Amino acid sequence: MQALTYYITLPFIYLLSILPFRVMYWIADFLYFVFYYVLGYRKDVVLQNLRNSFPDKNEAELERIRKAFFHHLSDMFLETFKTLTISPKKMLQHCGISPEAKALFDKLANDQKNIILVMGHLGNWEWGGNTFSLTCLQPLYVIYHPLRNKHFDEMMYKMRTRFGTQLIAMRNTYKEMLGRKTPMSATAFIADQTPQPDNAYWTTFLNQDTPVFKGTEIIARKTGSPIVYASVRKIKRGYYELHAEMLLENPTNTPDGYISELHTKRLEQDIIAYPETWLWSHKRWKHKRPTKLQ
């Protein structure tokens, strides 16, 4: 059944990927209508997340953000498939890199530093990876969760590695990073995913008790890799820019929780600044803080 679904869907996905951007965004507008008004896809989840995150905002403000988010989600759903066929030149026209970020990555490459990138589901993180691989000297490794449907997983793997990005399954992260002999690499962690509550670092994020994966800080301390925060900001419809800043040059002797707190709070700042471009439909707060951690 999975194979049948894949082979029926595949021609339509490739068709979407070759459409002119103008036509693609017409379809995205239709998808927004379907997601929001017909299916009501996770509308209640999004609204509750927004209410909990921004208790100071009134219902009209929250509704504006919710609609803007669903417009962005519809755009990004189609933008993701563009990677299947878009040219490198066109990719960089639609997702550039800020001069400051490029200078930072070049310096770290010249210093032969292996770095850890921490990001969130903000802007278009898929395009951000493409842009990094097309413009930066370091080979980029991205930690990812393989999809359950092996056919779609293979397609996504092919798409995400098309411009040189390499993928590491999350279960292999520790082994891969500690065993890597090549200097001057970058490993990206999408750090706002939801870990199991008992194995997480707990903090307050967007006014809520939130679990954070400990893996980023454990690996950073073990390898001594500088930690760089990266974000992909939406300039206007269909156009993004990759930004980056040094969070911590030497994480080796930091106390437990320090790194997790650092990158979580930095992401929180960007979400507050650009709320409509974060992934509010993700059930980020489905776990409660364990009693022993209260």
Q: How large is the average pLDDT for residues 207-215?
A: 95
**More confident of the two residues 146 and 77:** 77
**pLDDT for the residue numbered 294:** 46
Q: How large is the average pLDDT for residues 23-40?
A: 97
Angle between helices 59-82 and 2-18 (to 10 degrees): 90
Angle between helices 215-223 and 258-273 (to 10 degrees): 120
Nearest Cα to 277, choosing from 95, 91, 121, 93?
121
- pLDDT tens digits, 249-272: 999 999 999 999 999 999 999 999
**pLDDT for the residue numbered 5:** 80
**pLDDT for the residue numbered 293:** 52
Question: What's the order of all strands across the beta sheet hosting 140-144?
Answer: 95-97, 239-248, 227-236, 115-119, 186-190, 140-144, 166-169
- pLDDT tens digits, 47-75: 999 999 999 999 999 999 999 999 999 99
Q: Is the pLDDT of residue 148 over 90?
A: no
Q: How large is the average pLDDT for residues 177-184?
A: 74
Question: What CA–CA distance (Å, rounded) separates 288 from 206?
Answer: 15
Instruction: Supply the DSSP symbol for 278.
Output: B
Nearest Cα to 217, choosing from 180, 177, 261, 186?
261
Q: Which of 89-93, 179-183, 286-290 has the highest mean pLDDT?
A: 89-93
First to last CA, the chain: 45
- 147: tokens are 């999809």
**Residues 113, 248: contact at Cβ < 8 Å?**
no
**More confident of the two residues 206 and 149:** 206
Question: Could you write out the three-class secondary structure of 259-277?
Answer: HHHHHHHHHHHHHHHCHHH
**pLDDT for the residue numbered 181:** 67
Q: Is the pLDDT of residue 179 over 90?
A: no
- Percentage of the chain beyond pLDDT 70 is 98
Domain chopping of the chain, boundaries: 2-278
